[in-house]
Chains A and B, each alone.
Chain A
Amino acid sequence: MNELVQIQRKPSGKVEPIAPERREFLKNCLLASPFLVAIVRVAAQQTEGAANGEYRPEDHFYGMGIDISKCIGCGRCADACKTENDVPRDPRYFRTWIERYIITTEDETTVSSPNGGIDGFPPAVSEKGILRTFFVPKLCNQCANPPCVQVCPVGATFQTRDGVVLVDEDYCIGCGYCIQACPYGARFLHPVTHTAEKCTFCYHRVVNGKIPACVEVCPTGARIFGDMRSMASPLTRFRRFNEITVLKPQLNTQPKVYYANLDGEVS
C-alpha cells in the first residue's frame, strides 16, 4: 500500500502539474461560460415573454380575407378607418375604401367610389341594362413582395416580421416614389405631415390583441382578419374553404389581402 502511494507521488513531493489537454478544456469552459449564460438567459426570457403574453412578432403573420358576396357597401369600414387612424376627412385620402362595379349588358364596366362609400352609394342607374353589380372593399394589400418598400430611397417604409408594411413617418422625406410604385393605389401623401400614409392593418390594435377597426365594424363579416401562422385562425379557415383570388397576381407582389367570390373584372 505504501509502495503504491509512493509511486503516484513525485519523489520531490510536488503535486503533478495538470495535463495540457485538461488545462485547455478548462480554459475553453471559462471562455464559453458567458455565452452559455447568455443563451440560457435568452431562452428563459423567451419562455417568460410567451408566458406573460408579451407580443412576439415572429410568432405571427397577418393577412385579411374579404368575401365579396357578403359586402353590402355600407361604408362603415372606410368610416371607422378614418376615425381610428385620424385620416383627413377629405374625400381624396383613404386607407381603405369601397368601390362599386356596375357591368352593363354591353360589357362596359363602371367603377365608382363616392367619398369611399362612407355616405352610401346612389341607386345603381345605367341606361344600358345592368348585367351584374357588386361592391369591392379595397385597402393596402400588405404585399409579401412590396414594390413600395423596394423604391423607398431612405428606408422609411418596411415590412415587419409579422408581415405588415409600415411607414416610418418621422423618417419619410415625402418624395412620393412609393405612391407611384404601389399598383393598388393604396398610398397617399398626408396633406399636413407631407409624409406617405397607408393602411397599417391597425398595427397598434393588432399588437394589443385587437382586430383592425374595419374588421371590427364590418356588420356582415365580409372582412376577416387573422394570423396565418395559426391553423386555428378565422383567416386560415377562410382560405381553406373559399376559392381565393388576389388583386393583380401577375405582378408577383404576393398580396396578403385575399378575396373570395371576386369577379374577374376587378383589378
Chain B
Amino acid sequence: MKITIVDYGMGNIKSIIGALSYLEVEEITVSNKLSELVSADKLILPGVGAFPMAMDNIIKLNIDKYLKDIVILGKKPILGICLGMQLMTDSSSEDLFTNGLGFIKGSVSNFRESNLKIPHMGFNQVNINNNSKLYKGLNNLSDFYFVHSFRMNSNVNINQSMCNYNGEFIASYEKDNIAGVQFHPELSQTNGLKLLNNFIKYF
C-alpha cells in the first residue's frame, strides 16, 4: 500500500505521516509530482490555513488539473482532511469568493452566529450517516478533533455525516472514491486511527 500526501505547501503533515506509519502503511510519500500521485494507491489532501491561499498554491503548481484527471477520471481514492476536505468542494466565501476543485457539490462559509467562539476547536460528536464506510466499527456520536473557522454545507446527498456547533454542518462526506473529513483523524486518538484505517481498507 502506497499513500501519497499531496504537498501544496500548507498543513502540518508530520502527524498524518505518524498516524499512517502507526497503521503500518508500507510506503508514505509527500509530493506534488504527477508521477508520484499517479503511482500512489491512495491520496490524502491535507491542509491547514486559508482557502484562497491554498487554491492559489494548488493552481500555481498545476495540481488542480492533474488531480482532477487522477481523481475524477482515474477514480483514485482520496481523503481530504480539514482544509483539504473543503478544497474539493465548489467554492468558499472565506475572505473573498474562491472557486474550489469542484469534485464535490457543496460550499464553504463562515459560522454566522455572533457570540459563538471561533475557531470551533476541540472534540465534537459526529452524527454518523448509515451508509458510511469511514466510520465502520465506530459508534454513532463518536468524538473527533475539530479546529476550523469555516464550515461546509451541501444540498445534495454526498453521504454526509453531520456535526453540530450551534447549527449543523458537514463533518464528513463520502462519494464513490472521494472522502473528506472536516476534523483531524490524525489528532483524534483511537477514533481517528480507526477512521484512517477504514479509509485504507474500504476506499
Do A and B make up one complex? no
Interface residues of A (CB under 8 A from B): none
